[in-house]
Amino acid sequence: LYQVHYRELFDLWDSDDVPVPRKELLQKVKGVDALVCVLTEKIDAELLDAAGPNLKVLSTMSVGFDHLSLEELKKRGIRVGYTPDVLTDSVAELTVALLLTTSRRLIEATHEAKTGGWGTWRTLWLCGYELANSTVGILGLGRIGVAIAERLKPFKVKKFIYTDVAPRPELASLIDAEYVSMDELASQSDFLTVCCALTPETKDICNKDLFSKMKNTSIFINTSRGGVVDQEDLYEALSSGQIAGAGLDVTVPEPLPTSHPLFTLNNCVILPHIASASYSTRNAMSALAANNLLLGLKGQPMIKELKL
C-alpha cells in the first residue's frame, strides 16, 4: 500500500549517469506542488511557467544557487531550501587535498612512476611549493574559506589574507585573516583559493588582470564554481608560466570536454566536481534537501532556507 501511495505522490528521475532531459523535466513538472533539484537543473522562468501556480516549494541539493533564477522564484512567492553547512568539512578537505596535489605535483609524479620516468635521484626533479612560511589568500570568506584556513594552519602557513565585497571581521578573527584589496590578494598570495559564490559580480572575476598580478610561483585553486574563472585567461597564465599551477574542481562547462586545452597542461589538475563527494556528506545533503521540502510543504520554517 505504501509503495502504491508513494508512486502516486512522487515522480523520480532515477539516474545518476545523466541529468533529466530538459524536455522531460518541463513535462513532468506540470502541476507539481514541490520540486527537489540538483545543480544540473536550470530553474528559470520557462520551467516555473511549465510547473504552474501549484509550485510553492523548491529544494536544491546544493549550497550554490547560481542554477536558480532567484528573481523569478521571488516573484512567484516560491520558497527555496538549500544545503549549506553540511558540506563545509567535505569541501574544505577536498580543497586542501587539491592544493597539495597541485603544489607538490602529485599527478605528474604518479605518471612518471608508472611510465618509466623515475630514473636516478635528481636535485630539482618534480620540485613543487610548500605551505610552510607561505601566504594563503582566500577569495570570498565564508564558512568554507574559514574551514580551509583552519585545516591549512597546522602546515605552518605564515599569513592568511582575504578579500570579499566587504570586510568580515567575525569570520576573519577565527583564522586571524587580514582583509586586503583584490590587487593585494593577487600580488601577495602564494596560494590563492577561490571560495566565493557565482553571481553576476563574480563571473569571470579570476581573469587576465588577476593572473597578471600573481607571482610566477603561485598556485591557484578553485572549488567554488567554474564561472568565476575565465578559462582562456587561466590557460594563458599557466602555459606562459605567469603562475605555477592550478587545481580546479569546477569548470565551464561540466563535464569539461576532454579536448579542452587545459587538459594538455601538466601544471593544471582538474577534478570532476567532487568537493562534496563523501558518503556522509552526500547522505546529509540528501536528508537536508528532503526535510527542507517537507517542512516547506507544511508551511513550516525550513532547516536551511534561502532568503529571497
Active site residues: 273
Q: How long a stretch of residues is the chain?
A: 308
CA distance 60 to 80: 8
143-152 helix and 88-103 helix, angle to the nearest 10 degrees: 50
**Chain CA centroid to CA 178, Å:** 23
Distances (CA, A) of 114 to 107, 109, 123: 11, 9, 20
What gap in Å lies between CA 135 and CA 160, rounded to an integer? 6
| CB atoms near residue 143 (< 10 Å) | 17
Closest residue by Cα to residue 277 from 95, 68, 154 = 95
